[in-house]
Amino acid sequence: MRILLITGPGGAGRTTVAAATALAAAREGTRVLLLSGDPGDPMTALLGGAAPADTAAREQPPAPGAPHATPVAANLWAARIDSGEEFRHELVALQERGSALLGLVGARPLGADELTELPGAEQFALLRALRRAAAAPAFDLVVVDMPPLHQTVATLALPAQLRRYLARLLPAERQAARALRPVLAQLAGVPMPAQWLYEAAARWDEELAAVQAVVESADTGVRLVAEPGPAADAALRTGMLGLALHQVRVADLVLNRLVPKDSADPWLASLAARQRAFADAWPLDVPLKDLAHLGRDPRGADDLAELAGSLELPRATGAADGPRAAWPVEDRLAEDGVLVWVVPLPRAEKRDLDLVRRGDELLLTVGPYRRIVSLPGALRRCTVTGAALADGALRIRFTPDPGLWPRAH
């Protein structure tokens, strides 16, 4: 199964492109699930006219494995992610599993009807829905209407980050000492963490690992959407740095709302020239797709069908490209006495970057994004002796530590 995540700067038209992409794939015979988590539910307005006009959509059954998906066209189902319902369900379940501890401290559980979702619930609901959709056998393609680009980068980075936090705060090896907890509790004078907490952590880690596997899969890609202009240029540069930092594949870039360059209206002709100038100047190493402005806000099946004609799917990645490639380590010991870790960061600038070595990990900051990565085995026996940015890549120099590096015989 392929997964295509649609995102871009705010207001770029990513919801419209997501719907048109899904419809284009469905018309080619691909079984498509279109997921949207937008609280304003603009997808309904876009797809609202598709089902009544399409006999095949009315006749096709609900998709197995996706009971909340609604058929909207032949081979196309749509589902909206209800983050509030996800939040209430998870918190009520957590309270039930921790009822003994809550009773011990005299807490009163909250009822589902009095819970309102907290900030960040949308991202968790989206990731859970993505994992479930990836496991559903009924589809060949899942198209996801993601949040704006900056939020998408943060959302896709969440699973790996949270797994790291869990491993540090509740390491699995501590469960081996559960038989000693009553004794330790008496010595310490306070209750020790209950078994349910470790079981919950293991369950969270398993689910996060499944989501992380979907994000990092060779079958998952990002379709960017942008309207050419100075604001989009800045947002794309920053967002693509974040995607590169977290090694998320970018499939292509849709240049949306392009005005015809041969317009008789001087103002429209000038706008078209400016759009094309910005598009031509973008030094992005990804395929570009043009999507014309309809002259109105797209709405309904007819408008989507017109846009879908220009939105064939990007080239499949899958097994041909293999799993996500690790950042390469260049062996320059013979020439310069160093190993060089190469981190591709297209269009990065020196002012964007910061790095800190902490034990066997490296803290990389690129603009507003940060990632903590484990060092490859060979680099753990080295010290960081420099870094340089050139040709769209950060090259970090590691010099072997004589006390840790194997001596030549």
The CATH 3.40.50.300 portion of the chain extends over 2-320
* Among candidate residues 202, 69, 51, the one with its CA nearest the CA of residue 133: 69
Q: For residue 190, what pLDDT is reported?
A: 46
The CATH 2.60.40.790 portion of the chain extends over 329-400
Q: For residue 51, what pLDDT is reported?
A: 43
Output the pTM of the full model.
Answer: 0.84
* Overall size of the chain counted in residues: 409
Q: For residue 409, what pLDDT is reported?
A: 43
With b meaning 16 or more CB within 10 Å and e meaning fewer, what string describes 280-297? Answer: eebebebeebebebeeee
pLDDT tens across the length of the chain (409 residues)? 899 999 999 889 999 999 999 999 999 999 999 998 776 666 666 676 444 444 444 455 555 555 578 888 889 998 888 766 665 666 666 666 666 555 555 666 666 666 666 667 788 888 888 888 888 778 999 999 999 999 999 999 999 999 988 888 777 655 545 554 554 445 444 444 556 667 777 888 888 899 999 999 989 999 999 999 888 988 999 999 999 999 999 999 999 999 988 878 888 888 888 888 888 888 778 889 999 998 888 877 788 888 988 888 887 655 445 556 789 999 999 999 999 999 999 989 999 999 999 999 999 999 999 999 999 989 999 999 999 999 899 999 999 988 877 665 4
Q: For residue 52, what pLDDT is reported?
A: 41
* Among candidate residues 341, 333, 381, 382, the one with its CA nearest the CA of residue 364: 341
Q: CA separation (Å) from 143 to 6, 43, 64, 138, 379?
A: 7, 12, 17, 14, 39
In the structure encoding, which two tokens stand for residue 338, read together?
């160093």
Q: For residue 394, what pLDDT is reported?
A: 96
Q: Domain 329-400, what architecture?
A: Sandwich (2.60)
Q: For residue 48, what pLDDT is reported?
A: 60
Secondary structure of residue 399 in the 3-state scheme: strand
Q: For residue 108, what pLDDT is reported?
A: 65
Q: For residue 132, what pLDDT is reported?
A: 86
Alpha helix stretches (DSSP H) within 217-299: 230-245, 266-281
Q: Which amino acid is at 22?
A: A
Q: Domain 2-320, what architecture?
A: 3-Layer(aba) Sandwich (3.40)
The 3-class secondary structure across 127-143, one letter per residue, is: HHHHHHHHHCCCCCEEE
Are 57 and 76 in contact by the 8 Å Cβ rule? The answer is: yes
Range list of β-strands (E), 284-345: 288-292, 329-332, 338-344
Q: For residue 339, what pLDDT is reported?
A: 95
